[in-house]
Amino acid sequence: MTVAAVAAKEIREGLRNRWIVAITLLLGILALALSFLGSAPTGSTGASPLEVMVVSLSSLTIFLVPLIALLLSHDAVVGEAERGTLLLLLSYPVARWQIVLGKFLGHLVILAVATTIGYGAAGLALGAFAGGLGDGWGAFARMIANSIGLGAAFLAIGYAVSALARERGVAAGMAVGLWLLFALVYDMILLGALVVDQGAAITPGVLNALLLLNPADVYRLLNLAGSADASMFAGMSGLAADASLDAPILVLALVCWIAVPLALASALFSRRQL
């Protein structure tokens, strides 16, 4: 059994459990609703419907995609151990790191297919309704790719949680806590610190480092700051300028948020007693 075989197994289970259908429908319906509601101000701002859609879907993605990714991955190891199927899987000639990587790739395919179809259908529907979407296809394509990257980061985090926890309930609680931290609490604390500090200790360099410590902030800057019109419409132009983080640095940070938790998950799993 190879990495590809493990990945194929996860994809088959996702199809059998209707994960792909459920995620695609959820993302598509919410994206459609948010896109049509958000397309109203395009005439007064001069932004194209796609640019407004990028802003709307980016806000949706920061909350929804990490939660979906954690739901997919938080019991990938501990759940298999509790069901007794992990011992059967380890009876095959496959290394533990190959199991982690294969299961991760399988879940990533599920998330990527659902995100692409859901968001792509919303974009096409908005274009048919609006009689054209104007410029912004590049930003829209980057938004979908970046959303998949954000999902991959939280999948990797979920695998680290699953390899660390000994019970599914504990893993679920840790996953929800991390989602709340990265999606809500972190930015609230950072904003409060910026208001109190008034630039005394939190210099632009420190701000850069603090933003890179949250994959959701990396995604937000990478996605919205990549388009001048979209970032201005989203109110991100000032923050992007203060942060002074170029796209290659942000991409590298997102890759690190995928690789480091995945390596940690593999290391924890290799030491796990079954």
Per-residue confidence of the chain (274 residues) as pLDDT tens digits?
A: 588 888 998 898 888 877 788 888 888 888 888 776 755 544 444 556 666 777 778 888 999 999 999 999 999 999 888 888 888 888 888 889 999 999 999 999 999 999 999 888 887 877 677 555 556 677 788 889 999 999 999 999 999 999 999 899 999 999 999 999 999 999 899 888 888 887 778 888 888 899 999 999 999 888 766 555 544 444 444 455 555 678 889 999 999 999 999 999 999 999 887 7
DSSP state of 166: S
* pLDDT computed for residue 120 by the predictor: 87
* pLDDT computed for residue 147 by the predictor: 94
215/256 Cα distance (integer angstroms): 10
Q: What are phi and psi of 74, to 5 degrees?
A: -65, -25
Q: In this structure, how many other beta carbons lie within 10 angstroms of the beta carbon of residue 247? A: 12
Global confidence as pTM? 0.89
Cα atoms in the 13 Å half-sphere on the side-chain side of 221: 28
Among 233, 232, 220, 56, which residue's Cα sits nearest to residue 146? 220
DSSP state of 18: T
129/139 Cα distance (integer angstroms): 20
* pLDDT computed for residue 169 by the predictor: 92
User: Residue 103 corresponds to which tokens in the numbers above?
Assistant: 């299961």
DSSP state of 138: H
* pLDDT computed for residue 263 by the predictor: 96
Contact 161, 174 (CB under 8 A): yes
Angle at 48 between CA 52 and CA 51, to 5 degrees: 35
Show Cβ contacts of residue 53 under 8 Å, excluding neighbours closer than 6 positions: 35, 38, 39, 122, 123, 126, 133, 136, 140
Q: Among positive and negative, which fits the CA dihedral 105, 106, 107, 113?
A: positive
Cα atoms in the 13 Å half-sphere on the side-chain side of 207: 22
- Considering its fold, how many domains does the chain have in total? 1
Provide the residue range defining the domain that includes 204: 3-270
Q: Among positive and negative, which fits the CA dihedral 245, 251, 256, 258?
A: positive
